[in-house]
């Protein structure tokens, strides 16, 4: 959502008194929101051009490569194409972003294996992992593990391998756990694990125990949780190659999402 807030704010803030929004000015405004950018182009389609003062933009298209929004996170490719954007015209003069109608956009994202690994090592992901406490099957009720040192590897046949170290904070005990799985889109709103296999300290876990782990992981891959924030996301395409992951999605933002921004 933050990205779309930046984009809409740029459209409003750079509209001239006659309502003309220059592609290059919006591009510069969006570029400044990233720590670094290899390349970025923005195209705004609006006929007539002055209708932005009435809160209308026909379409916005953005294509970027090598985008770094925050420390430790890099996007190899980001492409966004919106449907028509309708803003509340009564709020434009005050510079506030308020949607009059839902904002809909198609998004294409490419992350290299190095990008994914860098993201897993970022401060944002590390802090989230530190909040997770995991209890392994057969462990005592008091024995819970923290997750550290996540690593990812993209494999042939559209599979990936995710490894993490489980650390018992009360004892000098660490367990290396790895899950290898394919990924598939399920009903447009879920990423589903396909034929997952689990290893603990290099030893295969009996297949009947694997669902205990996947049942804990798959809720994290459910995009329907975003709907509580007024964001609807539907996955359209997923490709897992040996050196990159490609994802295409449809995103719809309710007007209340931008209320008062």
Determine the structural domain holding residue 12 and report its residue range: 2-115+224-258
pLDDT band at 8; cut points 50, 70, 90: low
57 & 46 share domain: yes
Residues 202-221, mean pLDDT to the nearest whole number: 81
pLDDT band at 81; cut points 50, 70, 90: very high
92 & 216 share domain: no
End-to-end CA distance of the chain: 11
162 & 234 share domain: no
231 & 132 share domain: no
69 & 18 share domain: yes
Between 130 and 180, the more confident residue is 180
pLDDT digits (tens, 9 = 90+) for 118-171: 999 888 887 777 666 566 555 555 566 778 888 999 998 889 999 988 877 676
Nearest to 182 by CA among 154, 201, 210, 222: 154
pLDDT digits (tens, 9 = 90+) for 144-154: 677 888 899 99
Sign of CA pseudo-dihedral 86, 92, 95, 98: negative
Return left, alpha or beta for 30; rule: phi > 0 is left, psi -120 to 50 is alpha, else beta: alpha
Average pLDDT value over all residues in the chain: 82
194 & 249 share domain: no
Q: Are strands 103-112 and 59-70 parallel, antiparallel or unpaired?
A: unpaired
Is the pLDDT at 18 greater than 70? The verdict is no
87 & 210 share domain: no
The total domain count for the chain is: 2
What percent of the chain has a predicted confidence (pLDDT) above 90?
Answer: 36
66 & 193 share domain: no
230 & 186 share domain: no
pLDDT digits (tens, 9 = 90+) for 39-71: 999 888 877 766 666 778 888 899 999 999 888
The lowest-confidence range among 2-16, 75-89, 140-154 is: 2-16
Strand partners for 184? 192
Residues 175-184, mean pLDDT to the nearest whole number: 92
229 & 107 share domain: yes
110 & 89 share domain: yes
- Eight-class DSSP state of 211: H
pLDDT at 19: 46
41 & 159 share domain: no
């Amino acid at each position: 959502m933050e990205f779309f807030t930046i984009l809409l704010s740029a459209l409003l803030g750079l509209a001239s008194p006659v309502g003309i929004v220059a592609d290059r000015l919006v591009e510069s405004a969006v570029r400044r929101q990233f720590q670094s950018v290899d390349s970025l182009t923005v195209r705004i389609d609006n006929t007539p051009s002055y209708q932005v003062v009435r809160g209308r933009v026909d379409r916005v298209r953005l294509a970027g490569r090598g985008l770094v929004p925050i420390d430790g996170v890099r996007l190899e490719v980001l492409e966004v194409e919106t449907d028509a954007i309708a803003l509340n015209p009564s709020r434009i003069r005050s510079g506030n972003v308020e949607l009059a109608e839902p904002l809909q956009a198609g998004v294409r994202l490419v992350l290299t294996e190095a990008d994914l690994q860098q993201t897993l090592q970022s401060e944002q992901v590390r802090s989230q992992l530190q909040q997770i406490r995991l209890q392994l099957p057969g462990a005592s009720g008091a024995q819970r593990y923290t997750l550290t040192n996540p690593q990812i590897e993209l494999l042939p046949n559209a599979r990936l391998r995710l490894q993490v170290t489980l650390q018992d904070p009360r004892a000098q005990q660490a367990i290396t756990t790895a899950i290898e799985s394919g990924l598939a889109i399920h009903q447009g709103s879920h990423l589903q694990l396909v034929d997952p296999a689990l290893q603990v300290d290099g030893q295969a876990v009996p297949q009947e125990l694997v669902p205990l782990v996947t049942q804990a992981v798959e809720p994290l891959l459910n995009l329907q949780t975003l709907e509580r924030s007024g964001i609807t996301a539907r996955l359209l395409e997923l490709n897992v190659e040996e050196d990159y992951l490609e994802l295409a999605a449809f995103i719809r933002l309710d007007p209340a999402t931008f209320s008062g921004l």
